[in-house]
Structure 1
């Protein structure tokens, strides 16, 4: 399996938002928190949803 190639990455607070193509060639978006011991990450179909999740994410590591 090939690793995901992320593009158009941005950072909103501790959360990174990036776009990538899945195995079927569909455009997907991910949001992942980089705070220690947080563990938040999710994939979305739209960039707006990923950015909204990044803006509203609160973590208590």
Structure 2
């Protein structure tokens, strides 16, 4: 079971939300997750710019 994370600095780019949180080892991670139904895209990055780039270039296959 994964730990419940406290996200901060949330932004929304289209249907994708980008947030910052700390992982289980105390490192800062940036997550991009699509909120569209039946999409399922979610990925974790070391840098904020990489997460925002993924959010800008994401295309939902559910469309």
TM-score band w.r.t. shorter chain: over 0.9
The corresponding residue for 2:35 is 34
TM-score, with length taken from structure 2: 0.92
The corresponding residue for 2:56 is 55
Unaligned runs of 5+ in 1: none
Cα distance in 1 between the residues matched to 2:13 and 2:55: 6
Unaligned runs of 5+ in 2: none
The corresponding residue for 1:21 is 22
Runs of 4+ in 1 over 2 A off after TM superposition: none
TM-score, with length taken from structure 1: 0.95
Q: Tell me how many residue pairs correspond in the alignment.
A: 61
Counterparts in 2 of 1:2 and 1:41: CA distance versus 1, 3 Å: closer
